[in-house]
Protein backbone atom coordinates (compact mmCIF):
# COMPACT_ATOMS: atom_id res chain seq x y z
CA UNK A 1 0.00 0.00 0.00
CA UNK A 2 1.50 3.40 -0.96
CA UNK A 3 2.25 5.67 1.92
CA UNK A 4 0.27 8.85 2.36
CA UNK A 5 2.12 12.13 2.62
CA UNK A 6 2.51 13.33 6.14
CA UNK A 7 0.46 16.41 7.11
CA UNK A 8 3.66 18.44 7.46
CA UNK A 9 4.66 17.94 3.82
CA UNK A 10 3.82 20.68 1.29
CA UNK A 11 1.78 18.25 -0.90
CA UNK A 12 -0.63 17.55 1.94
CA UNK A 13 -3.82 19.60 1.91
CA UNK A 14 -5.16 20.58 5.32
CA UNK A 15 -8.63 20.24 3.81
CA UNK A 16 -8.51 16.50 4.55
CA UNK A 17 -8.07 17.34 8.23
CA UNK A 18 -11.00 19.78 8.32
CA UNK A 19 -13.65 19.95 5.59
CA UNK A 20 -12.91 16.69 3.78
CA UNK A 21 -12.60 14.51 6.86
CA UNK A 22 -13.45 10.92 5.94
CA UNK A 23 -12.62 11.17 2.24
CA UNK A 24 -9.75 9.18 0.79
CA UNK A 25 -6.77 11.52 0.31
CA UNK A 26 -5.44 9.23 -2.43
CA UNK A 27 -8.56 9.70 -4.59
CA UNK A 28 -7.75 12.03 -7.53
CA UNK A 29 -11.20 13.65 -7.38
CA UNK A 30 -10.83 14.34 -3.65
CA UNK A 31 -7.36 15.78 -4.29
CA UNK A 32 -8.73 18.04 -7.03
CA UNK A 33 -11.53 19.23 -4.76
CA UNK A 34 -9.04 19.85 -1.93
CA UNK A 35 -6.88 21.89 -4.32
CA UNK A 36 -9.97 23.86 -5.33
CA UNK A 37 -10.81 24.56 -1.68
CA UNK A 38 -7.21 25.57 -0.98
CA UNK A 39 -7.35 28.00 -3.90
CA UNK A 40 -10.69 29.46 -2.81
CA UNK A 41 -9.52 29.98 0.78
CA UNK A 42 -6.26 31.73 -0.14
CA UNK A 43 -5.91 35.18 1.30
CA UNK A 44 -3.89 37.74 -0.60
CA UNK A 45 -3.30 41.43 -0.20
CA UNK A 46 -6.22 42.93 -2.07
CA UNK A 47 -5.22 46.55 -2.55
CA UNK A 48 -1.59 46.23 -3.56
CA UNK A 49 0.15 45.79 -6.89
CA UNK A 50 0.86 42.19 -5.93
CA UNK A 51 -2.83 41.58 -5.22
CA UNK A 52 -3.86 43.12 -8.54
CA UNK A 53 -1.32 41.00 -10.42
CA UNK A 54 -2.61 37.85 -8.72
CA UNK A 55 -6.11 38.85 -9.78
CA UNK A 56 -4.99 39.26 -13.38
CA UNK A 57 -3.27 35.88 -13.20
CA UNK A 58 -6.46 34.27 -11.89
CA UNK A 59 -8.43 35.90 -14.70
CA UNK A 60 -5.94 34.64 -17.30
CA UNK A 61 -6.01 31.11 -15.86
CA UNK A 62 -9.80 30.98 -15.87
CA UNK A 63 -9.98 32.48 -19.37
CA UNK A 64 -7.57 29.81 -20.64
CA UNK A 65 -9.76 27.08 -19.15
CA UNK A 66 -13.01 28.58 -20.49
CA UNK A 67 -14.69 27.40 -23.64
CA UNK A 68 -17.28 28.77 -26.00
CA UNK A 69 -19.05 31.99 -25.09
CA UNK A 70 -17.15 32.50 -21.85
CA UNK A 71 -13.84 32.41 -23.66
CA UNK A 72 -15.06 34.93 -26.25
CA UNK A 73 -16.37 37.11 -23.43
CA UNK A 74 -12.93 37.06 -21.79
CA UNK A 75 -11.29 37.88 -25.14
CA UNK A 76 -13.72 40.78 -25.59
CA UNK A 77 -12.92 42.16 -22.13
CA UNK A 78 -9.17 42.00 -22.85
CA UNK A 79 -9.57 43.63 -26.28
CA UNK A 80 -11.69 46.46 -24.83
CA UNK A 81 -9.12 47.03 -22.09
CA UNK A 82 -6.30 47.15 -24.64
CA UNK A 83 -8.24 49.59 -26.81
CA UNK A 84 -8.77 51.82 -23.77
CA UNK A 85 -5.08 51.69 -22.85
CA UNK A 86 -4.04 52.43 -26.45
CA UNK A 87 -6.41 55.44 -26.56
CA UNK A 88 -5.05 56.85 -23.28
CA UNK A 89 -1.43 56.36 -24.38
CA UNK A 90 -2.17 58.01 -27.75
CA UNK A 91 -3.81 61.01 -26.06
CA UNK A 92 -0.88 61.34 -23.61
CA UNK A 93 1.69 61.16 -26.41
CA UNK A 94 -0.26 63.69 -28.49
CA UNK A 95 -0.40 66.04 -25.49
CA UNK A 96 3.34 65.72 -24.88
CA UNK A 97 4.25 66.26 -28.54
CA UNK A 98 1.89 69.24 -28.95
CA UNK A 99 3.22 70.77 -25.74
CA UNK A 100 6.79 70.61 -27.03
CA UNK A 101 5.88 72.17 -30.36
The pTM of the full predicted model, rounded to 2 decimals, is 0.55
Q: What is the DSSP letter of 24?
A: -
Q: Is 3 helix (H, G, I), strand (E, B) or coil?
A: coil
Question: Tens digits of per-residue pLDDT, 16-69?
Answer: 666 676 777 788 887 788 877 777 777 777 778 888 888 888 888 888 888 999
> Residue 12's pLDDT is what?
57
Q: How confident is the model at residue 87 (pLDDT cuts 50, 70, 90)?
A: very high
CA distance 89 to 95: 10
Amino acid sequence: MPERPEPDLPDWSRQFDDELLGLDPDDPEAQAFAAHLDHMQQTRPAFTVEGYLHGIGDFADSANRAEGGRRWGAVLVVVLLLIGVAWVVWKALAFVVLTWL
